[in-house]
Structure 1
Amino acid sequence: MENKEKLIEAANQMLERAYTPYSKFPVGAALLTKDGKIYGGCNIENAAYPVTICAERTALFKAVSEGDYDLAALVVTSRSQHATSPCGSCRQVISEFCSSDMPVLMTHERGEIEIERTVGELLPAAFSEGDM
């Protein structure tokens, strides 16, 4: 992927914008469209925990709200010593809007890609419109 470094940099920038007064665990995400546009996202916490939103969903919802559905890759990062993987809710949302072969890159505080999976590998047998 030619925009990998740019995408990691964007995720790291979003990490700095995270609002995490409760968990103290900031997460940044960057979503690349097939035409090269990048949507950033960060986790935004709330004292009422269920309304907190993860970085991955923030980036995805920004893209979708702008009408961008042709998505190419996602990077997720944190200040952890090990790669941060999307939670179950995020995996379901990712599978709703991204192709099963789209790469999801997971980095850590040093910005190195530690884990790379496809959407299908992250959520095999995802619940979809076809299951309804």
Structure 2
Amino acid sequence: MTNHEINISFKEYNTVEDLNISDKLLCEEAVKALESSLSPYSKFKVGTAVLLQSGTILHASNQENVAYPSGLCAERVALFHWGTAHANDPIVAMAVTAHTNEFELTKPITSCGACLQVMAECEKRQHQPFRILLHCSNGPIWEVEGVQSFLPFMFFEDRLIQQPSL
């Protein structure tokens, strides 16, 4: 038997004021994205802002449906939009924030496993990781370099990649 250990590291900032100007702006853009959240069932709004290498910022929010599996998280809305319209413009950073009137959020929310897997696929597609900022309006901001820290055993099988036809 071999024992293995996985360690992660992340930075924690007390407030957005502790961030550099670019990251502060990205977190503020994620807050703006909350406005388009369609969350009448959970009453839990999630907003995402994605900074591309060109300086373009993509906005997205969670979109719920009464048939719950039909809804989609803010992160995947943003990343699928990137993949269809901006895939040649690499993702530099992504900020995710949340808000609810039902209770006070005092720490950042983390992305669900499905969103983490999509993030991993996007990093692989662009051949480089991107920074993820988990923003909490009433608490700290967590910064992580790449999705590997969240999902160390992400699913990849290179043999599933379609080979070009000859």
TM-score (norm 1): 0.89
Deviation at 1:111, TM superposition (A): 7.3
Letter paired with 1:77? T
Q: 64, 74, 88: which is aligned to 2:94? A: 74
CA distance in 1, matches of 2:59, 2:43: 19
Residue pairs, 1:67-106, within 5 angstroms: 67-69=86-88, 70-79=90-99, 80-98=105-123, 101-106=129-134
Q: Is the 8 A contact 2:107 2:139 kept in 1?
A: no
1:125 to partner: Cα distance: 2.4
Contact 1:7 1:31 survives alignment (8 Å): yes
* Structure of higher RCO (CA pairs closer than 8 Å, 6+ residues apart): 2
- Quote how far apart the aligned CAs of 1:88 are: 0.4
Displacement of 1:122 in angstroms is 1.2
1:28 aligns with 47
Would the aligned equivalents of 2:34 and 2:61 in 1 still touch at CA under 8 Å? Answer: yes
2:87 aligned counterpart, secondary structure = coil
Aligned to 1:116: 143
Equivalent position amino acid for 2:130 in 1: M
Contact 1:77 1:111 in 2 (8 A): no
TM-score by length of 2: 0.72
Larger radius of gyration: 2
- Percent identity reads 36
* Residues 13-65 of structure 1: CA deviation (Å, up to 9, x unaligned): 01121110000000001111112111111000000000110010111111111
Q: Which structure 1 segments of 5+ residues have no match?
A: none
In structure 2, stretches of 5+ residues that fail to align are 1-19, 100-104, 161-166
Amino acid across the alignment from 2:143: E
Name the CA shift for 1:12/1:111 in 2 (closer, same or farther; >3 Å). farther
Runs of 4+ with deviation above 3 angstroms: none
Aligned to 1:14: 33
What RMSD in Å do the two structures reach over aligned CA positions? 1.8
